[in-house]
Amino acid sequence: MTRQIISTANAPQPSGPYAQGISWDQLVFTAGQVGSDPATGQPVSDSVREQTRQVLRNIQAVLQAAGSDLDHVLKTTCFLVDIHDFAAFNEVYREFFPVDPPARSTIQAGLVPPWRVEIEAIAVRPSSSA
């Protein structure tokens, strides 16, 4: 079994002692991603919709760096500052997972402002023989 650090310039750089992602054999675990622009590290917007869209783009970038993609996400854990944002969050989430979405937990959490949403994912790398 092999543990590998995943890193890409296409997602925000870690702001602390953690990796953007870790793979273990065929499994890929992303760190929690927020709605920051990878180039600037700044929030893309204060809108939960725009932050959710950027969060999922950031997850997508980490997964691609690991040799996976959103189609291979098994589970997400989603954190919202305000559970009343659930409908808007869900609307954007559905854009990225339109068919057969992964298992998911969504909770209200005290994220550091200005972040309104954070998502972490577990995915599998597709088999090269498939």
Query: For position 85, which CATH number holds?
Result: 3.30.1330.40
Tokens 């954070």 found at: 118
Report pLDDT digits (tens) over 70-101. Answer: 999 999 999 999 999 999 999 999 999 999 99
Instruction: Tell me if 117 is assigned to some domain.
Output: yes
The total number of structural domains in the chain stands at 1
Instruction: Tell me if 130 is assigned to some domain.
Output: no
Return the biggest CA–CA distance within the chain: 44
Instruction: Tell me if 47 is assigned to some domain.
Output: yes
Helix intervals (H) in the chain: 48-65, 86-96
The pTM is what? Answer: 0.94
Instruction: Tell me if 102 is assigned to some domain.
Output: yes
Asked if 69 contacts 63 with a C-beta cutoff of 8 angstroms, the reply is yes
Instruction: Tell me if 48 is assigned to some domain.
Output: yes
The pLDDT-based confidence of 129 (bands split at 50, 70, 90) is very low
The rounded Cα 23 to chain-centroid distance in angstroms is: 15
Instruction: Tell me if 109 is assigned to some domain.
Output: yes
Q: Which domain holds residue 98?
A: 3-124
| Phi–psi pair at 107, nearest 5 degrees | -135, 160
Instruction: Tell me if 129 is assigned to some domain.
Output: no
Q: Both tokens of residue 23?
A: 């793979």
Instruction: Tell me if 68 is assigned to some domain.
Output: yes
Report pLDDT digits (tens) over 27-71. Answer: 999 999 999 999 999 999 999 999 999 999 999 999 999 999 999
* Residue 36 to residue 47: CA distance in whole angstroms: 12
